Every structure is written in structure tokens, then in C-alpha cells.
Amino acid sequence: MRIIKIFDTTLRDGEQSPGASMNVDEKLQVAKQLVRLGVDIIEAGFPVASPGDFLAVKKIASETRGVTIAALARAKEIDIEKAAEALTPAEQKRIHIFLATSDIHLKYKLRMDRDAVLEAAIHAVGYARKYTDDVEFSAEDATRSDWDYLCRITEAVINAGAGTVNIPDTVGYTVPQEYSELIGYLFDKVPNIDRAVISVHCHNDLGLAVANSLTAVLKGAGQVECTVNGIGERAGNASLEEFVMALKTRPKFFNADTKIVTEEIYRSSRLVSKITGIMVQPNKAVVGENAFAHEAGIHQYGYLKERSTYEIMKPETVGIPRSKLVLGKHSGRHAFKERLKEFGYELSDADLNKAFDRFKQLADQKKYIFDEDIEALVMEEVSKVHELYTLVDMSISSGMKQKPTASLKLKIGDKVFDRTEYGDGPVDAIYRAIAHITGTGSNLLKFEVKSITGGTDALGEVAVTLEEDGKTVRGHGADTDIILAAAKAYLNALNKLAAKKR
């Protein structure tokens, strides 16, 4: 059975999803989970794009082992140098160069002719080989490129030293039959193709990214680029979990598998969804809430008699747990730490202590503590940044015949400021008070609130998305008092914006 390499680009193409930007620590959490998931390559970012991207790639390169770390670069020396520098601490490093090959991109974006692009590609691959033996070349917009030109450039970059050549469907335009023919054409026409791994990278604009990737595998592609939950630019990328489970469920048909530890799939999906704030739709294949729910009576009857009547894969194979009571008031730090590891979170000792203190407080307030409660507490710690604004105190009054009023004390540096505001509701009042004290110019794009588990003592979780000067951040807050959770989420987002400005 062939083993297909999984090139995960959740941290690069996935991060290009609108509103999905992650800070360095959040990216590191995801990267560590990707290692547990067993991906072969993690594309950690695009170092030349911003200092934040550079730092994230460097940190992931130094804190992960047993996986190849890739960094993206245009076919420019400065990009390649930055990628190489960020990758220095990696155990295994890959420089991933991309350059468009379609006439439409050549004419309107690059303003270069085909020969010039060919030369630039050869030069860039050769230049990158000075820094590492593992170089990937992506022919951006390959599926709208002239097939014979694509063959020429593929042959040339392999000769220049590219060990992987990627054939991206950048705009999600191709369809399975056509993509299969294109990959077959390359295998027939490129004389040195056996010296490289052919990779595919499909976008989901027509909902065909996974189907296209699978047809390419049948034609000989040896690497698939994908993201957890299928997040990515526009309609997203091929979803890792769907691609992997298609191979796992139909081994005879594909005669191919991956090294993915499928039991880590659900955890990875939850973590990415929590960190990016991009929810998973309930009917999403493999990881959606309803993916294994049998509703129709006749289905339930068949399922109870014999699971395989209506179930092609088992929820436990992808690590879907049953929500269970995990820890209580008397649980110790060690059990707490182990439980967090099972969710996919690895915290520093300091963050672990803070999360554990919060857990103990919660255990005093709330009788039953579920996995989801603990996850929400941990998210607060994971998404914390250096606090410019710290909440000191807050009180609210509200009622049917009373205008909602919030009084707030906020610490900025060594000074404590207070402010009382009215609002349409208690959250509005508290947000007005925070906005007044901090003088923020940000816009509140999204305010999401949900109860983590059932019961009136449930932990409430609030996530807010703020935007200022084109920068978008997400803040999280969790508390049994939903107004306090809302205040924490707003302050967390403002602290993130302040950190971004710094």
C-alpha cells in the first residue's frame, strides 16, 4: 500500500481564512497537536510576510521534533533568505517556493512572459537548495495553466533540485475528471518525474477539493496538501480529515493510506475551531456534530442490530469522545494536566498553574465539570497575551424598570481608572465603560456567546472579534457569570490588539 504524505497548511493557507489569524502561542499549540496527529510536513507560515509570521515559523521550528517544517517563499532571494533564517532551528526543514504559471497570472499579476517565469523558477529552486536539500516548488494556478508549459516547468525545477513539485488548483476551478487527466498527463510527459514527489493542493470553491485530491492520488500523486476542518483562503482547502478518512475507509479502492493517527482527528478539529473561532458546521463530514448521529427510526433500528448497516466508520476511530464527567473538586494538578494533554493542550507550568486555579474556583461554583468546561478555561489561558488592561472590579445593575448600568475599574500600567456607563443592556454598558477607559478605536465585528454545558450554573463562553486598522483579533472569556465572561473576552481582544500594535 502506498503511503501518501500529508502536508498540513492549516497554519499558513488555513490562517488566510478571513478572521482566522492566530498569535504565535496559538500557532504553537496547533503545531504541537499536528505533530501528535502525525502529519508529515507542517507549513508553519510565510516568514517574509510579517514579523509575526517569521517569529511563528521560528518558534515552531525550534519547539517541534519528528516532523518537517516548511516555510513559504515567493521566487525571490529575500523571501528564500527569510524562510531559511526562520527555519534554522528545525530538525528537518523545507523551503516551499511558489510562482504562478497560468497565462492569466503571468499577464496581469507578474507581468512576465513564460520564459522569464521559467528562469525565475529555476533560479529560485537552485538558490533555496543552498539552504536545504528539501525544496518544494508550487506552480501557482497550475490547473489554469497550459499543460505543456506546466510539463516544461515541472521538468526544469526537478532538474534544478526540487524534490517535490506541487500542482495547485489555486482557485478551485478544476473537476475530478479533468484534474485526474492533468496529473496523468504530467506523469506521461515529464521525463524526470520519478525524481520528485508530485503534490496536490486543492481549493474548495466548487466543493471539490477532497474529490480532486483523491483522483490525483489514484494517478500517482504522493503528497496531499490540506488543512484541519478544511479552513483556508475563500472557500478553504481540502479537508485533512475527509481526505484521510476516505483512504482509511476505502483501502482496497485507493490502495493508499497515510501516517495520520486518526484517533487525534477530532481533537485537532476542536482545537483549530476553538483557536480560530471558525465553527465546524454540524453536518460536516467526519468531525461535524451530526456526522455520526442516526436520526431516522429505520436507520436507528438497523444500526442497533448491526452498526455497519448505516455506519461506514466508527466515531472512536476519529477520536470522538462521549462527553463525560472528568474531574471534580478533589482532583489534583497531575490529573488535570493529563486531561489537558488528552485534549491536545500543552501549557507552560505558569499557565498550567493559572488554569488549575481557575479550575478549582469553578469546582467550588459548579457541581459537575465536563470536558467542555475545562476546554473553555484553558482557551482563556492559551489566548492570553501580555495584559496592558487588567480588570480590577466590575458591578452591574439592571432590571425591568431600570436602565442597565455598569461600573468598572480597570488597571492600565500602575494606575486604576474607573467609569460608570449606561447601555441598552448590561453587556452594552460594560463595553461602553471599557471603550471609554481604553479609548479604543476598534470595531466590534462579532460577539458570540454560548453556554458550554447544560444547567443554570453552566460556564458561559464569550468570543469577540475586533478590527482596527485592518488588524483582526479574537478574544475569549469564560465564567459562570456571563457578563463577566463578556468583559473578559473584550479585554482579551483589546490586549491582543495592543500586543499587535507593539
The residue from 161, 168, 277, 344 that contacts ligand KIV (CB under 6 A) is 168
Instruction: Using alpha carbons, select from 383, 338, 382, 375 the residue that is nearest to residue 359.
Output: 375
371 contributes a contact to ligand KIV by CB under 6 A: no
User: Footprint of ligand KIV on residues 90-149 (CB under 6 A)?
Assistant: 98, 138, 140
Between 208 and 464, name the residue whose CB sits nearer to ligand KIV.
208
Between 232 and 319, name the residue whose CB sits nearer to ligand KIV.
232
201 contributes a contact to ligand KIV by CB under 6 A: yes
Q: Which three cell numbers stand for residue 116?
A: 522569464
Measured from the CB of residue 93, what is the shortest distance to ligand KIV in angstroms?
17
- Count residues binding Zn ion (CB under 5 A): 1
d(CA 330, CA 369): 12
Judged by beta carbon distances under 5 to 8 A according to partner kind, the member of ligand KIV, Zn ion, none in contact with residue 26 is none
Could you tell me which residues are beta bridge partners of residue 354?
Answer: none
d(CA 164, CA 70): 12
The residue from 7, 8, 11, 13 that contacts ligand KIV (CB under 6 A) is 13
State the virtual CA torsion across 491, 495, 496, 501 in degrees, nearest 10: 140
Of 63-71, 162-170, 209-217, 399-407, the window that binds ligand KIV (rule: CB under 6 A) is: 162-170
Contact 244, 6 (CB under 8 A): yes
Measured from the CB of residue 254, what is the shortest distance to Zn ion in angstroms?
23
140 contributes a contact to Zn ion by CB under 5 A: no
Measured from the CB of residue 15, what is the shortest distance to Zn ion in angstroms?
11
8 contributes a contact to Zn ion by CB under 5 A: no
Strands 5-8 and 2-3: unpaired
Cell 472557500: give the residue. Answer: 235
Of 22-30, 108-116, 166-174, 468-476, the window that binds ligand KIV (rule: CB under 6 A) is: 166-174
Judged by beta carbon distances under 5 to 8 A according to partner kind, the member of ligand KIV, Zn ion, none in contact with residue 98 is ligand KIV
The residue from 170, 227, 276, 480 that contacts ligand KIV (CB under 6 A) is 170
Q: Which three cell numbers stand for residue 117?
A: 517565469
Contact 95, 87 (CB under 8 A): yes
- Count residues binding ligand KIV (CB under 6 A): 9
Q: Which three cell numbers stand for residue 377?
A: 478555561
Of 82-90, 127-135, 164-172, 489-497, the window that binds ligand KIV (rule: CB under 6 A) is: 164-172
Measured from the CB of residue 183, what is the shortest distance to ligand KIV in angstroms?
16
Residues whose CB falls within 8 Å of the CB of residue 181, separated by 6 or more in sequence, listed in order: none
40 contributes a contact to ligand KIV by CB under 6 A: no
* H or E element at residue 96: strand 92-100
Measured from the CB of residue 227, what is the shortest distance to ligand KIV in angstroms?
10
Contact 86, 11 (CB under 8 A): no
d(CA 103, CA 16): 24
Judged by beta carbon distances under 5 to 8 A according to partner kind, the member of Zn ion, ligand KIV, none in contact with residue 132 is none
CB atoms inside a 10 Å sphere around CB 58: 22
Question: Which residue's Cβ has the minimum distance to Zn ion?
Answer: 13
Judged by beta carbon distances under 5 to 8 A according to partner kind, the member of Zn ion, ligand KIV, none in contact with residue 476 is none
d(CA 304, CA 308): 10
Measured from the CB of residue 337, what is the shortest distance to ligand KIV in angstroms?
37
Transcribe 290-358 into DSSP letters: TTT---SHHHHHHHHH-GGGT-SS-GGGGTPPPP-EEE-TT--HHHHHHHHHHHT----HHHHHHHHHH
Between 204 and 438, name the residue whose CB sits nearer to Zn ion.
204
Measured from the CB of residue 98, what is the shortest distance to ligand KIV in angstroms?
4
Between 278 and 473, name the residue whose CB sits nearer to ligand KIV.
278
The residue from 5, 12, 13, 200 that contacts Zn ion (CB under 5 A) is 13
Between 13 and 380, name the residue whose CB sits nearer to Zn ion.
13
CA distances to 347, 355, 373 from 343, in Å: 12, 14, 12
CB atoms inside a 10 Å sphere around CB 398: 15
Helix (H, G, I), strand (E, B) or coil at 128: helix
7 contributes a contact to ligand KIV by CB under 6 A: no
Between 13 and 53, name the residue whose CB sits nearer to Zn ion.
13
Strands 325-327 and 256-257: unpaired
Between 8 and 13, name the residue whose CB sits nearer to Zn ion.
13
Between 13 and 461, name the residue whose CB sits nearer to ligand KIV.
13
Of 32-40, 163-171, 334-342, 439-447, the window that binds ligand KIV (rule: CB under 6 A) is: 163-171
Instruction: Please give the sequence-ordered ranges of beta strands (E in DSSP) within 384-482, or none if there are none.
Output: 389-399, 402-412, 415-422, 443-451, 460-468, 471-479
User: Which residues contact Zn ion (rule: CB under 5 A)?
Assistant: 13
Residues found near ligand KIV in the complex (CB under 6 A): 13, 98, 138, 140, 166, 168, 170, 201, 203
